[in-house]
């Protein structure tokens, strides 16, 4: 054990602990900027410097291990002066038009400046304006707001293994950019948005679609309906000042109605539908010698990576559209027919935890008639929070309201789609019962739950033991993909989600999504599942009704036409 | 040797990336490595293009854009700056009729700056392609440029 003193307080910590960690343990707050809990330590920003007796310069507490007998000062005049100067220098090379920035009042640099008491600037602003990259439907990169902390680079390279963003140049000319300074759209970017989620400032943000939604909400000729993804309900609370975790669906639905949506629906319904279609596809591939392993298709970040980098893998991917797209299709076909409405008058909004969903919705093939997109516009959890604030809606004080029909009943299985392993668990609950023609006793598959990067489970289908695998974060996915391409995959079914933790850790989720927060959202997701009356997709009575009235049966001709798709190799720079 | 042969003469490991890039650069009249060559190198050593670009951007020796046959790089670090009593950059700018960062219309000379080239004791210094010139005076700088202009072969290394 190491014995040292921080600000005259005796600290005892294990060897290898950094000064920052030791201080935190003793409730001593050292400000940081480039540091992010689950990422590598870069010590780029020098905000967390401390003074140590006998050491010549100030040391970065994030990267300096505490040693026996160290006398550390975290708030000496020298330290405070240094922090202040560093912050002022960052601000001198930063687009400081805070009031016109998405991150206003939610910006780590702004908060730091405030905490350090910076109210005047000693330095002239020397920022040379660079072009903003907003050429894709998902992510906007504004280099004028970049403070070069390197979090986006780390998450893109090490968590996602995509290597789209890199440091270019050296010294004060260093810049963060894709290869050749090309826009993200020309790169093999998955649009997962993890970079936007960890960015401390407004340099990488989602493409804001809230104005499009407002416009349609105020258009009396449009019937505006909204679907809410399973992962949004366990994180939206953070946008409205609650602890990470659960918020009641009822209050969320009520708040959406206050925004002016004509109908509020649950994407969980089409998650159940996905299980019916994908489960049937899996059984048919097993029985008919189809391409195996079958890989899930719900996650557009993973689909982007597969289409851009791994053309060999495309036959393995389920032909099912994602639940978001299935919902849009049904809205403009089944629902339009049922209610005698022109698809032209129906406007479908999705609230998703995801930035890649914005891209997915713009894909040309996702349209019932070639004219009307299945989903018209996608907003993220963060944008929904913004809309609540714009309207001054106090979600917590609203009386509960139910989701609308005809997609009203959903299951616990569908709720699990928000969590890594959830699609697998939901699929197994249904496939097991259909194939074995007997009830599944223990419906909780613990081995595919939690934050392990690669998870697997076994299930007995008609006397054969079948192995399934689950991965989340694209760097983990690569391992499974390479195994499949090499023909060495022992699995029959593989679930891939691009973001750590699955959709609950998506790129469009509230800021501050650390692994600790992900755990809370996962726990909430499992509570949602546990509280449902129906917990298996094939038991959903509304799903049965939908097949009876419209889709006939899973994988029928009409189901194929509306709910399935195919994939193309889209070569990009990698 | 073709570019492909040069690349493949190294083991397919990212440790050899810099050596490979310098070797390719030396083969090229206009001292740059094209996007296609970067792609080839990246797939050979199994890294992404962005990584190759990042490595290249760190070294003034390497460029993704075509440059002159002679790339004049004037050291911009402190000892060279202090000892530079006649302004090396301005002298060359006036002689070649270009400003820093440009290439002459004839395509023979590019003018750039570089971080320290390790000649602080003989400052001011500059590098042209792989040749180092030190203890620069105005006359010496002009002499060097005149000699290079007269050199029909176009290479100093």
Read off the pLDDT of residues A221-250 as tens digits, 9 standing for 90 and up: 999 999 999 999 999 999 988 877 767 788
Q: Is the pLDDT of residue A100 over 50?
A: yes
Q: Which two tokens stand for residue A428?
A: 């197994």
| Average per-residue pLDDT for chain B | 91
Q: Do A180 and B49 touch (CB under 8 A)?
A: yes
| Average per-residue pLDDT for chain A | 94
Among residues A478, A509, A485, which one has the least CA distance to residue A305?
A: A478
- Is residue A430 a contact partner of residue A279, using CB atoms and an 8 Å limit? yes
DSSP B81-104: HHH-SS-HHHHHHHHHT--TT-B-
pLDDT in tens, A536-573: 999 999 999 999 999 999 999 999 999 999 999 998 88
Q: Where are the domains of chain B?
A: 3-58, 70-150
Paired residues of A177 in beta bridges? A166
pLDDT, residue A242, reads: 81
Judge whether A320 counts as a catalytic residue.
no
Unique residue bearing structure tokens 């991965």: A471
pLDDT, residue A246, reads: 66
Helix, strand or coil for residue A406? coil
Paired residues of A573 in beta bridges? A187
SS3 content of chain B, % helix, strand, coil (to 5): 45, 10, 40
As a whole number of angstroms, the distance between CA A165 and CA B54 comes to: 10
Cis peptide bond N-terminal to A216, omega within 30: no
Q: Where are the domains of chain A?
A: 2-75, 101-206, 210-563
To test the contact with chain A by mutation, choose from B32, B37, B48 the residue with the greatest count of A C-beta atoms within 10 A, namely B48
Q: Which residues have C-beta within 8 Å of that of residue A202, sequence separation ≥ 6?
A: A101, A102, A103, A107, A142, A145
Judge whether A383 counts as a catalytic residue.
no
As a whole number of angstroms, the distance between CA B157 and CA A370 comes to: 62
Q: Do B38 and A179 touch (CB under 8 A)?
A: yes
Q: Which two tokens stand for residue A542?
A: 């509304």
Mean pLDDT of the region A348-365: 97
Q: Is the pLDDT of residue A371 over 60?
A: yes
Strands A175-177 and A71-73: unpaired
From the options 3.30.465.10, 3.40.50.2300, 3.40.50.1780, 1.10.1040.10, give the CATH code of A210-563. 3.40.50.1780
Among residues A502, A504, A501, A477, which one has the least CA distance to residue A491?
A: A477
Among residues A125, A63, A56, which one has the least CA distance to residue A88?
A: A125
As a whole number of angstroms, the distance between CA A259 and CA A218 comes to: 10
Handedness of CA A57, A58, A62, A68 (dihedral sign): positive
Q: Using pLDDT thresholds of 50, 70 and 90, give the confidence band for residue B154.
A: very low
pLDDT, residue B151, reads: 59
Binding-site annotation, residues of B for [2Fe-2S] cluster: 75, 80, 116, 120
Q: Which of B42, B57, B115 sits opposite A168 (nearest CB)?
A: B57
pLDDT in tens, A408-430: 899 999 999 999 999 999 999 99
As a whole number of angstroms, the distance between CA B134 and CA B106 comes to: 26
Which helix (H) or strand (E) element contains residue A239?
Answer: helix A236-239
Q: Which two tokens stand for residue A354?
A: 């995801």
- Is residue A230 a contact partner of residue A416, using CB atoms and an 8 Å limit? yes
pLDDT, residue B155, reads: 44
Whether A171 and chain B come into contact, CB under 8 Å, resolves to yes
Q: Which of A167, A187, A573 sits opposite B54 (nearest CB)?
A: A167
From the options 3.30.930.20, 3.10.20.740, 3.30.1440.10, 3.40.640.10, give the CATH code of A2-75. 3.10.20.740
Unique residue bearing structure tokens 């109908």: A263
pLDDT in tens, B48-76: 999 999 999 999 889 999 999 999 999 99
Q: Which two tokens stand for residue A236?
A: 């939206």
Judge whether A73 counts as a catalytic residue.
no
Q: Do B51 and A168 touch (CB under 8 A)?
A: no
As a whole number of angstroms, the distance between CA A468 and CA A456 comes to: 6
pLDDT, residue A405, reads: 82
Q: Using pLDDT thresholds of 50, 70 and 90, give the confidence band for residue A368.
A: confident
As a whole number of angstroms, the distance between CA B5 and CA A227 comes to: 56
Among A318, A322, A524, A537, the one annotated catalytic: A318
Q: Do B47 and A167 touch (CB under 8 A)?
A: no
As a whole number of angstroms, the distance between CA A4 and CA A66 comes to: 8
Residue range A101-206, CATH number: 3.30.70.20
Mean pLDDT of the region A453-479: 94
- Kindly indicate whether the domain formed by B70-150 is annotated with CATH number 3.40.30.10: yes
Among A206, A277, A281, A425, the one annotated catalytic: A281
Which helix (H) or strand (E) element contains residue B12?
Answer: none
pLDDT, residue B80, reads: 95
pTM: 0.92
Whether A530 and chain B come into contact, CB under 8 Å, resolves to no
Judge whether A360 counts as a catalytic residue.
yes
* Backbone conformation region of residue A254, classed left if phi is above 0, alpha if psi is from -120 to 50, else beta: alpha
């Amino acid at each position: 054990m190491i014995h040292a003193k921080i600000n005259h307080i005796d600290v005892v910590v294990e060897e290898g602990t950094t000064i920052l960690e030791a201080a935190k343990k003793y409730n001593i707050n050292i400000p940081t900027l480039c540091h992010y809990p689950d990422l590598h330590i870069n010590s780029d920003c020098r905000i967390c410097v401390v003074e140590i007796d006998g050491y010549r310069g100030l040391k970065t507490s994030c990267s300096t291990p505490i040693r026996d007998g160290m006398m550390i000062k975290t708030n000496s005049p020298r330290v405070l002066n240094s922090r202040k100067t560093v912050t002022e220098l960052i601000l001198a090379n930063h687009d400081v038009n805070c009031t016109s920035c998405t991150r206003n009042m939610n910006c780590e640099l702004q908060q730091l400046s405030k905490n350090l008491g910076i109210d005047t600037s000693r330095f002239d602003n020397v920022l040379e304006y660079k072009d903003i990259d907003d050429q894709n439907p998902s992510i906007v990169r504004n280099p004028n707001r970049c403070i070069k902390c390197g979090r986006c680079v780390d998450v893109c390279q090490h968590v996602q293994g995509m290597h789209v963003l890199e440091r270019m140049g050296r010294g004060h000319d260093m810049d963060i950019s894709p290869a050749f300074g090309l826009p993200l759209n020309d790169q093999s970017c998955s649009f997962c948005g993890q970079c936007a989620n960890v960015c401390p400032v407004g340099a990488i943000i989602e493409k804001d679609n809230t104005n499009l939604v407002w416009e349609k909400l105020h258009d009396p000729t449009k019937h505006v309906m909204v679907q809410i993804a399973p992962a949004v309900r366990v994180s939206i609370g953070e946008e409205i000042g609650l602890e990470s975790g659960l918020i009641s669906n009822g209050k969320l639905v009520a708040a959406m109605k206050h925004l002016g949506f004509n109908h509020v629906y649950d994407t969980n319904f089409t998650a159940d539908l996905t299980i019916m279609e994908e489960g049937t596809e899996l059984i048919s591939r097993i029985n008919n010698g189809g391409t195996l392993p079958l890989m899930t298709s719900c996650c557009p970040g993973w689909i982007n990576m597969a289409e851009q980098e791994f053309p060999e893998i495309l036959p393995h991917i389920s032909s099912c559209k994602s639940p978001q797209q299935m919902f849009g299709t049904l809205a403009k076909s089944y629902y339009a027919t049922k209610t005698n409405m022109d698809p032209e008058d129906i406007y479908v909004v999705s609230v998703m935890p995801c930035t890649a969903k914005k891209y997915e919705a713009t894909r040309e093939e996702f349209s019932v008639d070639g004219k009307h997109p299945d989903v018209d516009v996608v907003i993220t959890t963060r944008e929904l929070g913004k809309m609540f604030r714009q309207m001054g809606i106090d979600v917590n004080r609203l009386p509960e309201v139910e989701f609308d029909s005809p997609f009203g009943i959903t299951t616990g299985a569908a709720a699990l789609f928000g969590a890594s392993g959830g699609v697998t668990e939901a699929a197994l609950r249904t496939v097991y019962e259909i194939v074995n023609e007997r009830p599944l006793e223990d419906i909780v598959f613990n081995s595919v739950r939690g934050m392990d990067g690669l998870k697997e489970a076994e299930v007995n289908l008609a006397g054969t033991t079948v192995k399934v695998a689950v991965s989340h974060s694209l760097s983990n996915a690569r391992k499974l993909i390479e195994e499949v391409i090499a023909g060495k995959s022992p699995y029959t079914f593989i679930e891939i989600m691009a973001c750590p933790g699955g959709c609950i850790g998506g790129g469009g989720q509230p800021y501050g999504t650390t692994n600790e927060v992900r755990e809370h959202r996962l726990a909430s997701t499992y509570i949602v599942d546990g509280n449902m009356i129906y917990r298996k997709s094939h038991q959903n009575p509304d799903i049965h009704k939908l097949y009876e009235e419209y889709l006939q049966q899973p994988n029928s001709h009409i189901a194929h036409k509306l709910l399935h798709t195919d994939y193309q190799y889209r070569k990009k720079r990698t | 040797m073709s570019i492909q042969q040069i690349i493949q003469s190294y083991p397919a490991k990212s440790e050899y990336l810099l050596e490979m890039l310098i070797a390719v650069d030396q083969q090229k009249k206009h001292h740059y490595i094209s996007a296609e060559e970067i792609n080839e190198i990246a797939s050979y050593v199994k890294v992404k293009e962005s990584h190759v670009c990042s490595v290249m951007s760190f070294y003034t020796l390497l460029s993704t854009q075509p440059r002159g046959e002679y790339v004049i790089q004037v050291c911009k670090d402190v000892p060279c700056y202090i000892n530079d009593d006649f302004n090396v950059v301005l002298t060359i700018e006036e002689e070649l009729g270009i400003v820093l960062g440009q290439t002459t219309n004839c395509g023979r000379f590019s003018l750039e700056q570089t971080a320290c080239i390790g000649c602080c004791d003989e400052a001011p210094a500059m590098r042209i392609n792989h040749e180092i010139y030190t203890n620069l005076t105005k006359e010496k700088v002009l002499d060097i440029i005149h000699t290079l202009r007269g050199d029909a072969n176009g290479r100093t290394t």
